[in-house]
Amino acid sequence: MGSFNVTLGEVSKAATATERDARDLRWSRMMAAAQAGDARAYEALLRECLPLLRAICRARLRDATEAEDAVQDTLLTIHRARDSYNAARPFRPWLVAIAERRALDRVRSRGRRVRRQLPVDAAGEIASGEPAAEVELDARRAAANLRQAIEDLPPAQRTALRLTKIQDLTLADASQRSGMSVGALKVATHRALHALRRRFGTEE
């Protein structure tokens, strides 16, 4: 008679996989509801996804501030691109691809400043993710709640956020376009992100 050798570890892994699958299905349904205009489902989805986004960004960026900024970049991208999500596809890979790309943007930006290169394994992981079309920004379909939140910011913060985060200009270019100093832009951008975190409940 054969022996029954299933270990507690294997049972635990199976249970974890089942929970993850159930979570992924729930997230996909919540995103579909959000696309249909369910603001509560959208807010709940972002709250549930936040720990995963932070884990991804913190794994890619050693600096805690850079990682948190990458999280906020990811949330902004999700806001702008949510109508491009295909509900027939799993949501989590789409979400992870966005977070990886925003973290990669931060790594590249930092690399330009300190002449570092992205590790090969991280670049490979990005390349193996969802097709670029799945995470292409759609600024013309910006979510109404984010647009309103940005409009409610003080003028200097609104300008700094749009130039440095949405238009993705360098600080030097943003400074030239806005007439604000680089230091003032940094402060205004930080305060704008802080205000958005408070508004959308993403502060720890």
Q: What is the pLDDT along the chain (204 residues), one digit of tens a residue?
A: 444 454 544 434 544 667 777 888 888 899 988 888 888 888 889 889 999 999 999 888 888 888 888 898 998 888 888 888 887 888 888 998 999 888 888 877 765 554 444 444 444 444 444 444 443 433 333 345 677 778 888 989 888 888 887 777 788 888 888 899 989 988 998 888 888 777 766 554
Tokens of 19: 């929970």
d(CA 25, CA 48): 13
Interhelix angle 64-81/91-114, rounded to 10 degrees, is 130
